[in-house]
């Protein structure tokens, strides 16, 4: 399991992504990948790093997040205009989006079946199918 040799594992993960295991990337990877599935914004992760006594600049957090996405270690979830969420669960799955507090919750991929997926337009291929179930408190409005 990852818990057994967490430090070593994170180094391997970063090396596999063809990135240098710098202090900053290691710390961010540990925060992201060593506590189960997470959905974080750049600013949240930045704050966590500072709290954990790891000085990192926000620009470096953005760099790392995008590099991790490019390497397939993270997935960017778009639910809110003007703010990106990064999801450590890169397997096929979907999301509840809680409009009241901006929280994301995973829905296992096999819990939703999309039937009759239309053919993509000629010349194009499907990159991903995102299903977002927007929920809010029952009594609201």
Interaction site with a copy of itself (CB under 8 A): 76, 78-84, 96, 98-99, 105, 107, 111-118, 120-121, 123-138
- Between 14 and 79, CB nearer to a copy of itself: 79
Question: Residue 4: CB partners within 8 Å, gap ≥ 6?
Answer: none
Residue 31 to residue 125: CA distance in whole angstroms: 34
DSSP state of 101: T
Query: Is residue 45 within the footprint of DNA (CB under 7 A)?
Result: no
- Between 25 and 39, CB nearer to DNA: 25
107 binds, among DNA, a copy of itself, none (CB under 5 to 8 A by kind): a copy of itself
Burial of 69 (0-12, 13-18, 19+ CB in 10 A): middle
CB of 120 to DNA, least distance (A): 26
Query: In the numeric block, which tokens belong to residue 50?
Result: 């500072």
- Are residues 79 and 115 in contact, defined by beta-carbon separation less than 8 angstroms? no
Residues lying near DNA in the complex (CB under 7 A) are found at 19-25, 41-43, 55-60, 62-64, 66, 81-84
């Amino acid at each position: 399991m990852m818990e057994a040799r967490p430090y070593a594992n994170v180094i391997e993960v970063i090396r596999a992504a063809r990135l240098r295991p710098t202090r900053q990337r290691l710390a961010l990877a540990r925060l992201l990948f060593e506590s189960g599935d997470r959905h974080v914004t750049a600013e949240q992760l930045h704050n966590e790093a500072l709290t954990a006594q790891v000085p990192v600049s926000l620009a470096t957090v953005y760099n790392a997040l995008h590099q991790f996405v490019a390497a397939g270690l993270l997935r960017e979830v778009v639910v809110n205009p003007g703010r990106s969420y990064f999801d450590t669960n890169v397997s096929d799955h979907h999301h509840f989006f809680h409009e009241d507090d901006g929280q994301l919750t995973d829905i296992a991929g096999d819990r939703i079946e999309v039937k009759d997926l239309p053919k993509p337009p000629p010349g194009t291929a499907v990159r991903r199918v995102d299903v977002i179930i927007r929920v809010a408190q029952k009594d609201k409005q």
